[in-house]
Each structure stands twice: as structure tokens, then as C-alpha cells.
Amino acid sequence: MIGQTGKTRWGQISMAATSEAGQIDISSRELDCELGRGLIARWVQRRPRAGAPCPDVARADLVTRVLAARGVSDSSFLDPKLSWMHDPSLIPDLDRAAARLLTAMKLRESIVIYGDYDADGMTSTAILFHTIRELEPAAEVFTYVPHRIDEGYGLSASALEALCAPNGARPSGQPAAKVIVSVDCGVTALEPAKVAVRHGVDLIITDHHNPPATMAELPACFAVVHPRRPDSTYPFGDLCGAGVAFKLAWRMMTLHFGSPRLPAPLRELMFELLSFAALGSIADVVPLLDENRAIARFGLQRMKTSRFIGLRALVKASRLDGEKVSVTDVGFKLAPRLNASGRMAHAEQAVEMLTVAGPQRAAEIAEQLEELNTERRATERKITDVATAQVVQRGMDRPECAAIVLADANWHVGVVGIVCSRLVEKFCKPVILLGQKEGVWHGSGRSLEGVSLYRAIAKASHLTERFGGHDMAAGLAVLPEKLALFTEAFQHAVAEELRPEMMVRTLAIDTEVRTEELSVAAVSLLMQLDPCGQGNPAPRMLLRGAELYGVPRPVGKSGEHVKVSMRVRERAGVTRYLSLAAWGWADRCADLSPGSAYDVVLKAEISMWSGKPTVELTLEDLAPSAPS
């Protein structure tokens, strides 16, 4: 919250600077790469990507400066539209896949949607399932999701054998598949593709994970739908699995109707399916840029009122406040509950909830996911504590160790991926954690920006049983006798890419800010950058010379958070008072000195909690101000 005392009444300001006294010339200081070292991170000026437009931002208003820091010169970025969506037919093999699925529907051929066991895979499955049922209610369509621990990631030869063979081990009454469409997996599934061919089954692979480098290395099957295939010219390569599935569903509708201008019922279905695509995109942490930005913006708007029973049940069980679902709600509430199903039990129940469950059954599953998520959190905390201790004991926290690789037979294979993320954040280096199943090490890895986890594992792939994933996350299996060699080879591969400055936590700052710029009007405009997430983070701003006013006050059930009061003395005798929420800062309060001046990194948003719009500030980091 913000208030003031002094000669000038606090109020909204014009977004255009109107006088020399009210302007900041940021041309000299803001464009320096290094901005200082805070209490918890090194501060750097956010830089536009190479080749991005960089307008002259000196004396510009707050939003223009933030956009410029991201290489954006067009204010239309603040108003994403569905017209941003690219033509699905530009994705290789997508038209071929859509036509084959429509034929299978009309002929009542058995179709199996084979999805991954994470939130992206589940939402991808739901998108295609509901599309097929809408276009052909009598279609023979079934879903399959592998067990994370028993079967592992991706298409497996044994699963396809069961789905394809006349006497395969399938659920009672389910016929052998004639068409199998994978979602969110399969681009490296060479052996499973051979199984499908042997049984005369048309396998359609849709995926977004890192593809092979050449066309010759792709699976030999009916279609491989991937926006980053070696021969692809699709203009945006960062769709998630649900995004690719949405594009396939869209093309199925236009082919079915015979025109790109869909009738109202199908157009409405497309809008509804955006909720699943948005959930998958945010859960899988793909960049919320380009068409992903439009998917997220419009998909989030419909989640609370979705026509899909299972999605509404999930939202209700997650006890979300507010008029609509936010990116934070998806990242911290919806996605973890879906993922808990695959991590702690079997993801098939969550897929059931999102596809065929009625109201009562959907509510039951949603509550079960709540229980599984609680169990997952407890398991995660235990593994995090043990793994953190092992990192220090084995010296893997030292700068000379480029990556962390740990294995423990007591670790839950379904949870280690989340713990990897915790350790990457703490130690600023790539992490792989492995648990044991039937004598083989299975696990996950996470990386940090600038180091491709997929490429590093690929260089040591001769020492793995299997692996797959992308630059920031991957899964793998390693035999015990090869673990030491793999660890050495992986750490060497990471060392080739890891630079010393990457091993220090950084905060990228968009712009410096004055307190009078933090008005309701300015922050409301700034919030049009939503949805914020990977590739489009919430803006961080640097406020210089704020005096700590009094002792930080603990808040929260256990007092782990604090409220920090600061004041800024400005020209003309004006003093502005700021209240900042500092999440998880209770242990850092001893380092703060009331009465001292600090440079503060903060985030700003609009809250309607009091019934009217107010500016709420979050403290991200701070450092003592340099003597003037």
C-alpha cells in the first residue's frame, strides 16, 4: 500500500512526462548491465534479446521503459488477440494427422489418445478427447496414460503392444487400436513406432520436446506433428504439448466443417478448449509470448466457468478466490494437484476427471487429488532436506562442481523433479536426482537459463538406458554400474556450457522507478503485461534511497513473512510512505537496520481486497544505498 504526507496530494499521474523536474533520464545509469548486489541476488538490467527493437527509453513513461527492456516497441503487446494464432496447417504433418483422425472417427475405428502423466499431457489428452466426442459422439475413442514409476516417460513398446495386438492386455471391452495419437510425448520413440507398424496401426505422434537433429532420426510412423521438426517452418516453436494438441483440434474442426469459418458451436468449443491449452502452457512453463500469450490470456478467463465438468471440479477443490484464475493459481494450485496424481498414484484418475467423469465422480477425484498433493508436499520436504545436506557433504555446492547428481534408493521417483527445481534455485547449477526402481536408477533433472539439460544428457546418453525432455527439464534412467561414469560425463558436459556468472542468483530489473510513478493508473497499465510467466515475467523495478521506517512486522500463520515499512523523502518536502510485503523474509530481518537507506527491488500490482483499487508492493530484494 502507498500513502504520503507533505505538500503534494497523492493521486494518479499522467503516463506522459510533463516537466523536466518530473522526468528521469535513465540513459546513463539504467543501461549498465550490472546494477549492484542485493541481499539475496546480483542485480542486472534486463536486456532485450539480440535483434529485438530497442527504442530510445530516456524520459519515457514507466510502461514504455518496461516494454523497451524486453525489446518490445509495439504497445499492442499489452492487448493480445486470438488473431495472433498461427495457421495450424503450417506445422509439419498436422493436416495429415487431422484427416486421418476424422476418417477413423467416421469409420468407428478404435482411436487411443496416449498422453503423458503430467499436467501438460493430461490437458493435451482432454483437448483431443473432447474434440473427437464433439465432432463424432459415437466415436470409438479411449485414453491411455502410462504409470510414472512402473512404465516411465513417453511411448513404450510394451504399452503399444498391449494396445495394438488382438490379444493385448487392455481394459475389458476395449478393442485393439487402429489409430494411436500421442500427446506431449513420442518424438524420439523409435522402437514403439516399429511396434505400431508391425501391427498395421497408424501412429500419430504430437510432441513439443526436443526433436532429433535430422529427419532420418524421427520415428517411422504415420505422422510426426512437431512445431520444431528439422524441416519445420512454423513461425513459433515454443508451444507446449497442449498447444500442439489445440492446433490439431482446431484443424480437425475446420476440416470437418469444410471451412476455416466455424459455426457457432464449434467456435465456442475452440474457446472452451483454450482453458486446457492455457493450463498446460503455464504448467509446462513455456514462454508466454507470441501465440502462447493469447492462449494464456483467453484460456484463463474461462476456467472458472468452463463447460467441462472436471475442470470446474478441479478449480472448486482448489478453493480459488477472485473472479478469474490467474497464472499463479495455475502454477501453485491447479497444476500441482493434477501432477500429484501422476507423482503419487496413477494419472489415469486425473485424466478420467478431465474427460468422462460426471459431476459426483469429478468432485471425488478432485478431493483425492487434494489429499495426494498434501502427501506430495510432505514427501518433497523430506527429500529436499536430505538432498540439500548431501550436496554440502559431497562438496557439490562448490564452484568447481558444475552440476549436482545424487541418487538415493529411498527417494520417491515421482517427486524428485520438484526437488531438483528447489536445488537449482538454491545452488544455481543443473541438478539431477534419482530414485531406484527394480534395480535401475530413475529420475529427473532441471537446469538454469543458459545451460541445455537435454544437450548435456545427450552427450552422456551412451551411459543411460533412456532419456528425454528439453533444455530446462528432462527425465532419464541409468543402470547402477554406469551411474558414476554418467555423473562424470554429465558434469563435464555441463561445464562446457556453464559460465561463472550463471552460478550466482540474479534478479533482472526492468527499470528504475520513482514513487510518484507507482499510481493506480500507472500500475493498472503495467498489469496489462499479464499473463506474466516464463519469457514474460512480472516487471521488477528499482527504487533508490528508501529509508527503512521502523522494525519489520511478522505476518502469516507462522510469522515467516514480514511487512516492511519504508519512506522516501522527495523534492518539495514531500515524504511518501510505502508498505511492502516480503514473502519468506522473516529470517532476513536481522540484516535490516531501521533508519538506514536502501535501494529496493520491488513488484507492483493492483489489489481489490478493500473494495477499491489500491497499489500493493512486494519486496524482492534490497541493498544499502550508496552514500550520496
The secondary structure of 563-579, three-state, reads EEEEEEECHHHCEEEEE
Return the closest-CA partner of residue 230 out of 217, 220, 239: 217
For residue range 485-522, list pLDDT tens digits in order: 999 999 999 999 998 888 888 899 999 999 999 999 99
Is residue 349 within 8 A of residue 368, CB to CB? The reply is yes
pLDDT at 505: 87
pLDDT at 128: 98
pLDDT at 626: 80
pLDDT at 461: 94
Once rounded to an integer, what is the mean pLDDT over residues 337-350? 95
- Indicate if the pLDDT at residue 622 is higher than 70: yes
Which range scores top for mean pLDDT: 150-164, 178-192, 606-620?
A: 178-192
H/E stretch holding 607: strand 597-607
The tally of domains found in the chain comes to: 3
567 shares a domain with 434: no
Whether 616 is in a domain gets the answer yes
Return the closest-CA partner of residue 494 out of 424, 425, 401: 401
Confidence class of residue 7 from pLDDT cuts 50, 70 and 90?
A: very low
**53 or 523: whose pLDDT is higher?**
523
- Indicate if the pLDDT at residue 343 is higher than 90: yes
498 shares a domain with 588: no
Whether 451 is in a domain gets the answer yes
The three cell numbers of residue 193 are 513406432
Whether 353 is in a domain gets the answer no
156 shares a domain with 52: no
- Indicate if the pLDDT at residue 627 is higher than 80: no
99 shares a domain with 147: yes
CA distance 583 to 505: 17
Instruction: State the pTM of this model.
Output: 0.88
Task: Please give the mean pLDDT across all residues of the chain.
Answer: 90
604 shares a domain with 459: no
pLDDT at 58: 54
What is the phi/psi pair of residue 515, to 5°?
Answer: -60, -35
Return the closest-CA partner of residue 508 out of 176, 34, 103: 34
**320 or 36: whose pLDDT is higher?**
320
> Which CATH number belongs to the domain containing residue 498 in this structure?
3.10.310.30
H/E stretch holding 154: none
410 shares a domain with 519: no
601 shares a domain with 471: no
pLDDT at 14: 25
For residue range 526-582, list pLDDT tens digits in order: 999 999 999 999 999 999 999 999 899 998 888 889 999 999 987 777 889 999 999
- Indicate if the pLDDT at residue 397 is higher than 50: yes
Once rounded to an integer, what is the mean pLDDT over residues 183-187? 96
The three cell numbers of residue 434 are 534419482
For residue range 307-340, list pLDDT tens digits in order: 999 999 999 999 987 778 999 999 999 999 999 9
Cα 40–378–423 angle (5° rounding)? 35
In this structure, the strands spanning 473-478 and 42-45 are: unpaired
Is residue 152 within 8 A of residue 146, CB to CB? The reply is yes
pLDDT at 34: 64
Separation of first and last alpha carbons in the chain: 27
Is residue 102 within 8 A of residue 135, CB to CB? The reply is yes
User: In this prediction, what percent of the chain has a pLDDT beyond 90?
Assistant: 77
Collect all residues with Cβ–Cβ distance below 8 Å to 227 and sequence separation of at least 6: 91, 208, 234, 236, 237, 239, 244
pLDDT at 239: 98
Whether 609 is in a domain gets the answer yes
Q: Look at residues 236, 269, 302 and tell me which one is the last residue of a structural domain.
A: 269
pLDDT at 21: 28
pLDDT at 49: 64
- Indicate if the pLDDT at residue 185 is higher than 50: yes
pLDDT at 51: 54
Which range scores top for mean pLDDT: 74-78, 252-256, 435-439?
A: 252-256
For residue range 92-128, list pLDDT tens digits in order: 999 999 999 999 999 999 999 999 999 999 999 999 9
215 shares a domain with 89: yes
Whether 423 is in a domain gets the answer yes
The three cell numbers of residue 526 are 503495467
97 shares a domain with 48: no
Whether 377 is in a domain gets the answer no
Domain range for residue 444?
A: 394-503
Whether 342 is in a domain gets the answer no
Q: Look at residues 454, 476, 503 and tell me which one is the last residue of a structural domain.
A: 503
- Indicate if the pLDDT at residue 48 is higher than 90: no
197 shares a domain with 157: yes
Confidence class of residue 222 from pLDDT cuts 50, 70 and 90?
A: very high
97 shares a domain with 231: yes
> Which CATH number belongs to the domain containing residue 187 in this structure?
3.90.1640.30
Q: Look at residues 269, 287, 314 and tell me which one is the last residue of a structural domain.
A: 269
- Indicate if the pLDDT at residue 24 is higher than 90: no
Once rounded to an integer, what is the mean pLDDT over residues 440-460? 94
Half-sphere exposure of 517 (CA within 13 A, CB side): 25
527 shares a domain with 496: no
Whether 612 is in a domain gets the answer yes
Which range, of 18-27, 41-50, 113-122, 585-594, averages the lowest pLDDT?
Answer: 18-27
